[in-house]
Structure 1
Amino acid sequence: MQPNKQKKNPFWVFGAAAAFVLAQGKWLLTLLKFGKFGGVFLSMLLSIGAYAILFPWGFAVGIVLLILVHELGHVIAAKQKGLPVSAPVFVPFVGAMINMKRHPRDAVTEAYIAFGGPLLGSIGALAVFGLAYYVDSKLLYSVALSGFLINLFNLLPIHPLDGGRIATAVSRWLWLVGLVGGLVLILYHFNIILLIIWVMFAYNLYKKFVKHREHGEQRAVSASFLIPAEPLIEQGYIIPGEEHKRELPFVTYSDLEGQQYVRVVWDSLSFQGTIPLMQQGLIQRTHVTRLERVQREDGLHLMIHCQVDYEPYENDKYYEVPNAARWKFGFAYLGLALFLIAMMSMVHKVGNI
């Protein structure tokens, strides 16, 4: 009689690798510190460890890898459009994110980059489903199901989810659908992460279309500059007091990547300082909010605290999308959503989950 062969968990390799990583954590951290993608691997390991608290190791590894595939979809799409992006950073129980070093200049580009994530993520989940069917693994079926769900969740037309960004190229009326549908989903099946995203989305819509509709939203950015005071004193210049305030003349300009700068000038102090804005804006005024005397080894210095008041500028041409592109993104958006719903139903049926 031959002994019965036990069916091995298909994720035993990942479990062993994770155990090795934890055992060699100090050594690996030293390597990660010097690697270009060290932060990616470290945040992945932290996410795997966090998910493993609630789920089996195999599931934790699988779901993090599918999230990675999803984020790589955004990275590939951004590269195709010539936009530099950072490597993905994982946040346990939230997902992962990439930082765009230059923002898209039109809604079509934004939608294209947003669509890349759920598209490649869905392909990754489909591959896991195929493997689950081949080896008949409940664990892999669960990973595939979660992968389909994650990508479907990201298609909700709510900023900053991918669906909310795709909606910019289809119709901004979809944001209203996301606002109402998201609330219904929260009431029907409460989820704290969805609630936080929905509240932020609702508040942003309120600011954009209600609160600041007439006068615009007022924002400010501050910066401090240290200049030597000794040359000014030698020239007989009287250093202003710490409560001194004044408006400063300025010039503003943008580089080829769309980053806007404000250069402030204080002629009597022979001072010029450059302040970057977080976004494109209409400058209202630039002014000194406070002066501070700082004594250093090389003499007295003056710390100039400046503030730029501005109104965020939104170019209406950003949302001008050709009808052909609207239909293309609309059909692709709806088709992917229906595909994910169908695959989730199939996983339940085939995998008996």
Structure 2
Amino acid sequence: MQNEQKKNTSTPLKWLGGGAAMLLLKGKAILSLLKIGKIAGPLISMMVSIGAYALIYPWGFAIGIVLLLLVHELGHVIAAKRIGLPVSAPLFIPFLGALITMKKHPLDAKTEAYVAFGGPILGTIGATAVFGAAYYMDSPLLYSLAYIGLLLNLINLLPIHPLDGGRIATAVTRWLWLVGLVGGLAIIVYLRSILFFIIWAMFAYDLYNKYVKRRNNNRPQSVTKGFLIPVEPLREAGYMIPGAEHRRDLPFTTYSDLERQQYVVVRWDQLNYYGKATLPQQCIIEKVRISQLEQVTLENGLHLKMQCDISCTVHDNDKYYDVPASTRWKYGTAYFVLAGFLVGMMYLVHLVGNVNL
């Protein structure tokens, strides 16, 4: 009987270990068949993460945890694809987890929360499936993987940016951020994690900037931008080139792209010049004024090195958080049901598999 149990519990380790050996031995040949970029990058980062985890944990556990992270990130990818939001392939970072990047930012909190839900939902399904396999095979390895998978998804539901829970809170209620701010301290003590402390500190600083310093943000501010104007052809044509003391307000236009990057385009009609610059954040521009002019001679002739002061007021788009009440209730219910399910499953794994990490 003991021999049978030993055989059953070692089987998953052999499968996972064999898979790791194949990836390491055949990885170079596999990569040569892949297109560099979309597939090779994520695959390389996966293998690096597996190797890093294997320095501390058994190979089977290292492969399993990376696969669980992959399932979680694929949940985000699937959710984003369903609503037509382009995202990158998952990138794995040893001991930090994995992430995807959005090629276009969501236009509202509902969309942000929808994409955020995808990871914990599919990640929970994956960890629950591992628990089912662990119960069927009576495998301590799979029990441990199921527990850590459930725990990671539960931690990700904490209402702290940039965790998934912090993004879901945007569509439920931003008061959850206050819960995350206070509850995060307890999690820091429990986990004793420097990484989580850094995440919490960045989140706290972001809240401070958004709400404590908000009054200052509403005051007019000035952003300085530089432009280089070619004037050699104008000088040869007999145009008067402005001197260093020249000051004036310039006409401008402004727009934002789909990624919410705002641009300002300044125009100096007398010099037939159009210049474009990026702004550090969304704002309402009041005026653009020349603050400094300097004539410089480059290889291709005379240029005006111009600095402009852009007077503006930071714009905080509160409409981003306008979510229908029905959606708030639906997302809020799903959020707490999912969190409760994860807690219950962790308790079940602890009882059945005698796992307590």
Deviation, structure 1 residue 35: 4.1
CA contact (8 A) 1:233 1:239 kept: no
Residue 186 of structure 2 corresponds to 184
Q: Give the direction of change, closer, same or farther, for the CA distance of 1:342–1:100 in structure 2 (3 Å limit).
A: same
Among 105, 111, 114, the residue aligned to 1:112: 114
Is residue 194 of structure 2 the alignment partner of residue 207 of structure 1?
A: no
Is residue 283 of structure 2 the alignment partner of residue 295 of structure 1?
A: no
Residue 43 of structure 1 corresponds to 45
SS across alignment from 1:82: coil
Matched AA of 1:83: L
Matched AA of 1:326: R
Deviation, structure 1 residue 275: 2.7
Deviation, structure 1 residue 102: 1.8
Counterpart CA distance in 1 for 2:22 and 2:306 is 53
SS across alignment from 1:282: strand
Among 160, 163, 166, the residue aligned to 2:162: 160
CA contact (8 A) 1:169 1:321 kept: yes
Matched AA of 2:139: S
CA contact (8 A) 1:15 1:58 kept: yes
Counterpart CA distance in 2 for 1:32 and 1:304 is 48
SS across alignment from 2:12: coil
Moved more, 333-342 or 3-12: 3-12
Q: Equivalent residues in 2 for 1:150-299 (5 A)? A: 150-216=152-218, 228-236=230-238, 237-238=240-241, 248-255=250-257, 258-277=260-279, 279-286=281-288, 293=296, 295-296=298-299, 298-299=300-301
Residue 98 of structure 2 corresponds to 96
SS across alignment from 1:213: helix
**CA-to-aligned-CA distance 1:228-272 (integer Å, 9 cap, x gap):** 44313323444756x998764321123566553211223343221
Q: Give the direction of change, closer, same or farther, for the CA distance of 1:348–1:311 in structure 2 (3 Å limit).
A: farther
SS across alignment from 1:158: coil
Matched AA of 1:235: A
The two structures, once aligned, show a CA RMSD in angstroms of 3.2
Q: Give the direction of change, closer, same or farther, for the CA distance of 1:61–1:335 in structure 2 (3 Å limit).
A: same
CA contact (8 A) 1:67 1:96 kept: yes
Q: Give the direction of change, closer, same or farther, for the CA distance of 1:60–1:330 in structure 2 (3 Å limit).
A: same
**CA-to-aligned-CA distance 1:112-141 (integer Å, 9 cap, x gap):** 111111011100111111111122211111
Q: Give the direction of change, closer, same or farther, for the CA distance of 1:323–1:225 in structure 2 (3 Å limit).
A: same
**CA-to-aligned-CA distance 1:56-103 (integer Å, 9 cap, x gap):** 111111111111111111111112222111222222211122111222
Q: Give the direction of change, closer, same or farther, for the CA distance of 1:281–1:72 in structure 2 (3 Å limit).
A: farther
Is residue 71 of structure 2 the alignment partner of residue 69 of structure 1?
A: yes
Percent of paired sites with the same residue: 59
Moved more, 11-20 or 157-166: 11-20
Counterpart CA distance in 2 for 1:217 and 1:49 is 51
SS across alignment from 1:34: coil
SS across alignment from 2:266: strand
SS across alignment from 1:54: coil
Q: For this pair of structures, how many residues does the alignment match? A: 349
Counterpart CA distance in 1 for 2:266 and 2:45 is 40
Q: Give the direction of change, closer, same or farther, for the CA distance of 1:80–1:211 in structure 2 (3 Å limit).
A: same
Counterpart CA distance in 2 for 1:45 and 1:291 is 53
Deviation, structure 1 residue 227: 5.1
Q: Give the direction of change, closer, same or farther, for the CA distance of 1:25–1:232 in structure 2 (3 Å limit).
A: farther
Matched AA of 1:53: L
Counterpart CA distance in 2 for 1:69 and 1:268 is 59
Counterpart CA distance in 2 for 1:247 and 1:185 is 53
Counterpart CA distance in 2 for 1:220 and 1:27 is 55
Q: Give the direction of change, closer, same or farther, for the CA distance of 1:218–1:133 in structure 2 (3 Å limit).
A: farther
Q: Equivalent residues in 2 for 1:319-330 (5 A)? A: 319-330=321-332
Matched AA of 1:144: A
Gaps of 5+ in 1: none
Counterpart CA distance in 1 for 2:195 and 2:287 is 38
Matched AA of 1:63: I
Q: Give the direction of change, closer, same or farther, for the CA distance of 1:87–1:295 in structure 2 (3 Å limit).
A: same
SS across alignment from 2:158: coil
Counterpart CA distance in 2 for 1:351 and 1:66 is 18
Gaps of 5+ in 2: none
If the length of structure 2 is used for normalisation, what is the TM-score?
0.84
SS across alignment from 1:253: strand
Deviation, structure 1 residue 327: 1.3
Q: Give the direction of change, closer, same or farther, for the CA distance of 1:342–1:256 in structure 2 (3 Å limit).
A: closer
Counterpart CA distance in 2 for 1:325 and 1:58 is 41
